[in-house]
Amino acid sequence: MQRVKLYDKTFRTFITNDRIMSAIDDVAAKINDDFKDCEDIPVLLCVLNGSIMFMGELMKRLSFNCQTVSIKLTSYEGTNTTGRVKQAMGLTADLTGRRVIVVEDIVDSGNTIVELKQILADHGASESRICTLLLKPDAYKKDIVLDYVAMEIPNDFIVGFGLDYDELGRNLKDIYVLDE
C-alpha cells in the first residue's frame, strides 16, 4: 500500500488506476447506449478543476459527437465543505436548447449538483444529466437523480485522479484516502 504526504496529512492508496479505468469503461458504455442514435450534439460540461482527469478519460470512450464546455465551482476549504457553492468561472459557451451531460469528479453533499442544475436551467439547457466518477451515498441527501455513477465510496476524504487537498494531489493516478 502506497502512502503520499500532502501538506500536514498522509493518504494511503484506496482505489487503483486500473479499477478507476474499469469503472470509467462501464459508465461510458451506459452513456454511449443512451446517446447512440442522437442526432443533436450533446455537451459535456466539465466541472473544474477536479473533473479534468475523469473528463479526459470519459471523452476518449464516447462514440458519439459531443462538445465540451467548462465551469468552475468551489465549495471546499481544506478537507471540509463550506456548504456554500461559489461560481469561480462561469459557463464557457451558450447552452440554450442543448442537452448537457455534467461531468463531476465526486458527489457528496449534493450542493454543487443542485447549483449546477439551476445554472443549466437558467441558461436554457433543454436537458441535463449528471455523470459522476464517485458518489458518497451516505452524504448525498438531495432528490436530484444522478444518471451515471461510476463508483460509490464511503464518506471519507480522498485525493488523486483530479481530487485535491488544498490544490495538491490532483495529479496522482490512483485515488488515496486520508490515513489517520
CA 172, CA 138: separation in Å to the nearest integer? 25
Enumerate the β-bridge partners of residue 5.
10
> Which residue carries 442522437 as its cell?
38
Which amino acid, residue 73?
A: L
Nearest to 161 by CA among 150, 176, 146, 149: 176
> Which residue carries 466539465 as its cell?
46
Q: Which among 105, 108, 164, 174 is annotated as catalytic? A: 108
108 given a catalytic annotation: yes
- Return the active site residues: 108
